[in-house]
Amino acid sequence: MEYVFDPNPVVSVAVLNSAMQFPVHRIYCVGQNYADHVREMGGEPKQGTPVFFSKPADAIVTDNKDVPYPPATNNLHYEVELVIALGQGGSNISTAAALDCVFGYAVGIDFTRRDLQAQAKSAGRPWDVAKGFDGSAPISAINPVAQMGHPSSAVIELSVNGETRQHSNVENMIWSVEDIIAELSSFFALTSGDLIYTGTPAGVSAVVAGDKIAANIQDVGSIAFSVI
Ligand code: MN
């Protein structure tokens, strides 16, 4: 095969306690999955089905690398989220079979240009420019299910400059890991390499260049980096 130019490199994430890398296929995201965050954004929890959107695979930032403050915003928000990493996929996956698809879990940040999201919401426009920008998806190493199992109850928290801003438990998710995989697979053919950011609890707010962000999910992992 000859290409007209060199293909871009495969995007991948480190696997905890391993020399192997997890190659990323797509990034799906769930919105409005913690009631306290839905309320702080002015909404009502659990209206209908989950909110799904996506980011480009190469929006990830790995290995605790610094994240450049993105252009076109004055209101960059962090959102700490449990990330599902799929080892296999399918269409119309049942909730009973969903956990068998999971390779592992990670800690992710769904960075959001909140000012652009507010404009999109009020105009009835897509969220892409608010959510899918370069560097918008920092992620920790992936902790394989073979090492950690599945997190049914685990503290999820984020701090900025050492001050706790988000503190909840993944058991507060409106849609569970099984629910999310089953529902998402009714819209898309899921496959190995897909990442799913599962939504954030309350406490989101703006950061500026120079801020240090640290996030942790109990028994899953942690992430720490600066916005520059
Ligand atoms: Mn989010």
Per DSSP, the residues of 23-83 read E---EEEEES-BHHHHHHTT--S--SSPEEEEE-GGGEE-TT--BPPPSS-S-EE--EEEE
CA of 131 to the centre of ligand 1 (A): 9
Using the mean position of ligand 1's atoms as its centre, give its distance from the Cα of residue 219 in Å. Answer: 21
Would you call 7 exposed, middle or buried from its count of C-beta atoms within 10 A (0-12, 13-18, 19+)? exposed
Residue stretches of the chain with pLDDT short of 70: none
- Strand-strand pairing, 206-207 and 51-55: unpaired
Class of domain 12-226: alpha beta
pLDDT tens profile 118-174: 999 999 999 999 999 999 999 999 999 999 999 989 999 999 999 999 999 999 999
Instruction: State residue 171's pLDDT score.
Output: 97
Query: Ligand 1 centroid vs 81 CA: distance in angstroms?
Result: 7
Residue ranges covered by each domain of the chain = 12-226
E strand or H helix at 131: helix 128-131
Sheet holding 163-169, edge to edge: 163-169, 155-160, 212-217, 221-226
Contact 27, 57 (CB under 8 A): yes
pLDDT at residue 214, rounded to an integer: 98
Ligand 1 centre distance from Cα of residue 69 (Å) = 18
- Gap from CA of 1 to ligand 1 centroid (Å): 39
List, in order, residues 6 or more apart from 91 with CB less than 8 Å away: 185, 186, 188, 189, 190
- Closest listed residue to residue 167, CA positions, set 52, 42, 36: 36
Q: What pLDDT is stored for residue 217 in this prediction?
A: 98
Residue 80 Cα to ligand 1 middle (Å): 7
Q: Burial of 186 by CB count in 10 Å (0-12 exposed, 13-18 middle, 19+ buried)?
A: exposed
Residue 48: its pLDDT value, please?
Answer: 80
Say what the pLDDT of residue 223 is: 98
